[in-house]
């Protein structure tokens, strides 16, 4: 169960991820993604459900995280697609060289 404290920490990580994505700092973004994943895994087994007030605050924080995630994807997905194309052309080029010599 995500606590309010963990949700706020996760929100801060997502803010940093958004800045890294905007700046094209892919290694930093990857590290922040790793950290956010570790936080989510650590938060999963929490025993107590939040109070109604905390649940409402957590909901607000999660909505903010989702908005940041959307922005991160807007920056990261074009870079990922570009990398996929480069890798694909490299694989095709190697296959042609292997097939026809080179």
Classify 69 as helix, strand or coil: helix
Residue 37 or residue 49, greater confidence: 37
Average pLDDT over residues 89-99: 70
**Whole-number pLDDT of residue 82:** 79
Q: Above pLDDT 90, what percent of the chain?
A: 62
Task: State the CATH number of the domain containing residue 76.
Answer: 1.20.58.380
pLDDT higher than threshold 90 for residue 84: no
Distance CA 57, CA 66 (A): 14
Question: What is the number of structural domains in the chain?
Answer: 1
Containing structural domain, residue 91: 4-100
């Amino acid at each position: 169960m995500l606590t309010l404290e963990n949700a706020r920490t996760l929100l801060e990580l997502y803010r940093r991820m958004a800045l890294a994505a905007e700046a094209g700092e892919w290694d930093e973004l990857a590290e922040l993604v790793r950290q956010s994943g570790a936080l989510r895994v650590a938060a999963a087994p929490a025993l107590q459900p939040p109070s109604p007030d905390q649940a409402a605050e957590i909901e607000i924080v999660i909505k903010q995280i989702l908005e940041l995630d959307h922005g991160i994807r807007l920056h990261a997905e074009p870079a990922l697609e570009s990398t996929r194309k480069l890798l694909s052309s490299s694989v095709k080029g190697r296959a042609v060289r292997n097939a026809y010599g080179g």
